[in-house]
Structure 1
Amino acid sequence: MGRERENVHWEDILSLPASGQHSLSDRVHEELSAAIVDGRLEAGEQLNDKAIAEALGISRTPVREALRRLTVVGLVEVAASRYTRVTEVTPEQAASTLEYAVLQAGNALQLAVGRMRETELTDAVALLDRMIEASDRDDADALVLSSREFVVFIIRHAGNPFLTRVLANENAVLERDLRRARVDLGTPEQRRGTYRRLRLAMLTRDADAAERLFRVQCGLIGAAGVGFAIDAAA
């Protein structure tokens, strides 16, 4: 049925982001999404719209709308008159999410290689160079961070607003699931040749080769990058 904490203080778990240009419902959605992704709200956690609304000092309407949107993307599940709770992530789901993310990121890379301006291509290759440097040092943390930056840049410069919008809408569930995906970074020797061939393919604007080489490193780049701070408005 899901886990519901006793005497939970929602005000210690959730807070509304600054208003900016976002509606109240958007801000609640942003905060609940972030809390699920970063683990403040764990799998199986029961979500009470009345308690959440009271903790945030707002009406239940924007909370209900936010929970509805989270249900659509799969971060929350609802059984009428029984529960509203954070969904579990099975190993199978994490693997399928990784597969989907790699496919989408590979498509974005193929588009971006052919469409980026020269200055954008230079910037993309510079980000790839940071990945290569981190890989050669076998610095896993730096490699994951630089991979995320590379993939997000590529998605933003794919020249396909629909693809960017879809991935932005799915950003939270992608990041949540990918954090639980099993990823083998391999060794520097295993990565070295692939990264350098990918660099050459990008510089020569060989989009098909770039996509193919990207998929060779799909476990690393897909899990580390897709679903990380993708802005639909970018």
Structure 2
Amino acid sequence: MDAENKKVRIAAVADIHVTDTDKNKWVDYFKEVSKNADVLLICGDLTNTGDESEAQILCDELKACTIPVIAVLGNHDYEKGRQKLIRQTLQNENVHILDGEAIVIKDVGFAGVKGFGGGFDNYMLSMFGEDAMKAFVQEAVDEALHLDRALARIDQQHDKLKKIALLHYSPLRETVVGEPEVIFPFLGSSRLAEPLIRREVTAVFHGHAHMGTLEGTLTGGVRVFNVAKPVLSKAGYEIPYYILEV
């Protein structure tokens, strides 16, 4: 097979919630993923309580992973305000933590942000009212802008590459269905969808909605996958990771 036509196997998971007692728990998992994929994506909630000690355990476990790892942080990783330390602990030549950045691996462009909430479609929160409400909405707007810039960098520097987006929060309602509807505004935002559609992303991976739905589709046919570990387990994945060939 010609190198330029060779498929890249992307493994994806989210919400692994590594704890201080997880030493040696993930070694076999990362070895298994490495045998079956070319790149591993981890879409947020890398740690359970946002502590750098949990990140250090994950860093040690990831030494068993022999393929490149690309990740974004999730809300749990922000819990103690130590997200910068978590990123520093994990980031190395094989592990790339994205926060509004992009990276090209095996001729595929990857862009990543955490994302944020705010609701979907006609039920999105608007920037109106109290300052606290405006700040909540602004966070989602800012995350969408960071995502757009990251995708734009791929287009500017590597014309016609396939693009994959990593988020923690969902860009559409479809993949959070299964969660209580009253918490949908806290699980994602349609504001994240616009740059994904306009930049013609091949696929999007996210987590956060543990009781959500595995797959959905944005306008234009952009495929979206909720790869939260509990969602994958519920869908019958004995070893919880999703493989997509692009």
- TM-score normalised according to structure 2 size: 0.27
Rg larger in 1 or in 2?
A: 1
- TM-score normalised according to structure 1 size: 0.28
Greater per-residue helix proportion: 1
